[in-house]
């Protein structure tokens, strides 16, 4: 991935248009995984800390898991649309078989 300097001197990566649809899903997936890790970490200490509700943390962790599954389905669907399909035969797909 290359980067270029804009007039205001910030760096902006040049992203292939085909991947622009999957990057927001990747960012959301990172956020959901972070939430799930937080809920699990809090759940691990909830039995010793009366401020924490173990049942609520279990529900939040389950919801984060459900969100992650949904994002994974969406990511697979977007990937199928933007990535070239290789038919598994020489000379087919996006690469040329000629030198």
95 belongs to a structural domain: no
- Total tally of structural domains belonging to the chain: 1
Contacts of the segment 60-68: beta carbons below 8 A, 24+ positions apart? 60/35, 61/36, 64/32, 64/33, 64/35, 64/36, 64/39, 65/36, 67/32, 68/29, 68/32, 68/33, 68/36
Question: Do the domain assignments include residue 87?
Answer: no
Domain span at residue 44 reads 18-81
Q: Are strands 3-5 and 11-13 parallel, antiparallel or unpaired?
A: antiparallel
Is 9 part of a structural domain of the chain? no
Residues 6+ positions from 79 with CB-CB distance below 8 Å: 22
Per-residue pLDDT tens digits of the chain, which is 99 residues long: 444 444 455 555 566 666 677 778 888 889 999 999 999 999 999 999 999 999 999 999 999 999 999 999 988 888 887 776 665 545 544 444 444
Are 37 and 51 in contact by the 8 Å Cβ rule? The answer is no
Question: What is the rounded distance in angstroms from the CA atom of residue 89 to the CA atom of residue 99?
Answer: 17
Whole-number pLDDT of residue 18: 61
């Amino acid at each position: 991935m290359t980067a270029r300097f804009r007039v205001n001197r910030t760096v902006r990566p040049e992203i292939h248009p085909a991947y622009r649809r999957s990057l927001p899903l990747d960012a959301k997936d990172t956020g959901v995984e972070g939430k799930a890790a937080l809920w699990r970490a809090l759940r691990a200490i909830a039995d010793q800390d009366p401020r924490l509700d173990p049942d609520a943390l279990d529900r939040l962790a389950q919801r984060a898991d459900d969100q992650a599954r949904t994002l994974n389905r969406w990511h697979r669907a977007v990937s199928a649309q933007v990535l070239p399909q290789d038919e598994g035969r020489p000379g087919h797909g996006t690469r040329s078989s000629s030198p």
